[in-house]
Structure 1
Amino acid sequence: MEYAINKSKENPLLKKKLDSYTHSQIKQLYFIDFSLFFKGHLNTSSLQERFSLTPADALASFQHYLDCAPENIDLDELNQRYFQSNSFKPLFAYDVRRTLTKITNGISDGFDAIEAQPYPIQAPSLLNTPDLTVVARLSQAIMNGNAVNVIYTSLSSGSSARDLVPHSIVDNGLRWHLRAFDRKSQTFRDFVLTRISKVSLLSNDNDIRETKRYDEEWNSPIKLKIVAHPKNVQFATAIEIDYGMIDGVLEINTNAALAGYLLRRWNVDCSVDAHLTGGEFQLWLKNRNEIKQVQNLAIAPGY
């Protein structure tokens, strides 16, 4: 089994120590490292539940981690709770794409084994990827209810400091963004992750109106009804098969905050009369009139 050590920590002694551990022990170390990195804390019971360990075995795993990276942990001995230290640097190296996928799908093991013979499947390259340290800080803030101060660079106003109360990290198909309450504009907004260059955790004593439950667009479910484009597609059956349409219609349940991203990602013509031309427009939004109040649709093709 191969794995990648964070370059800032890599040395022959550490590699030798890690090589002496079993596959199961390495996975437990990854889980501890990943939890500290993206959640900020961990206790022995979490490790016991995740790997069906006895209390003694869980403590032994934490000791192995301390042997490898003693500067990464602050210990609350009374509650057997381990916190990310101020000098924390992840023990392992994490692939950005894999890690973002894991976070999106609620996978918390962090394990990134390097396959000796990878499967013959390729995915398109990403033009950009966010800084994992930024993602980790935002993940910690969301999971622990903290507000954050960030340095954000926008197209309209350049770089500035903003206080945000984040509640979700989203892959919109083209890039990753943060959904958060912006204390400057007093609204819930989307922030592109790659434009966030610094994150500082603030208090978790937030006004309830700044929390996810008060994000009206996020909590407004809508149904999109998508069909084969009536003008650009000669054989509609091919499109219906592609997307598993039922009676010629693909129904997608989403929310008002994400609808526009989805429609733009799949090049869905959202014009009233299906007038967009070009081979990329193979789909048409049939029920535009039913959801015309959704602000996020402004970014959809032809809207």
Structure 2
Amino acid sequence: MGGDSSDSKIKWQIERRREFIEHRLFWHGQIGLADLIDTFGIARTQASQDINSYINAFPEHLTYDKSARTYVLGPMFSAHYADLSPSAHLSKLLAISAGFPVHFPDWEVYVPDMLAPPIPARGAKPEITRSVLHAIEQGRALTITYQSMSSPDPSERSIAPHALAHDGFRWHCRAFCLRDRDFKDFVLGRMLAADLGDAADVDWTTDLTLTVAPNPALSENQQKVIALD
């Protein structure tokens, strides 16, 4: 049992270092033994072994540049361990720039100035957020005291939450309002109290599959860009 645990830990460590190799190669264009040594606190022999084993597993994914004395992207490079999606990388850089904690911040060599408007805190209380999550997970109704912008005073209502949504600024709870008999969005920060109730009737939920396409009135090149967006 202990051997299996030890082997799993070693495998995880190797995979993380290979993930780092791909991440540093792709986003920085090069990697040296010192990068592995400094980031993971391993010996030079281990760093050399990591690079060589990666080359053996994926030939031509990285090559040694003798003039620069470092390893660079090879002609056949593709990722096997790292998530190289631009959205994930840019989100991480934005979080680092804003001073938020992220996984493996020392993997980044350079963080550019990120010009983004400050997003104010939206006041969702931990206890209320927990109740909303429990209601969704357990399929239960939720009695909330809610401050709507259409009413001067808070009101109490029962809702049946089924999903969360984020518009880039605020977290919303998507729910069926039992009072108005309609689906609505409720801002978590406007919930003043929330109490779990009984199991909710979920027979009214229906999943729809939508096919979205660019406006055919656009040019072919414009449609390609819209499709990528």
What is the TM-score normalised by the length of structure 1? 0.34
Larger radius of gyration: 2
Greater helix share, structure number = 2
What is the TM-score normalised by the length of structure 2? 0.43
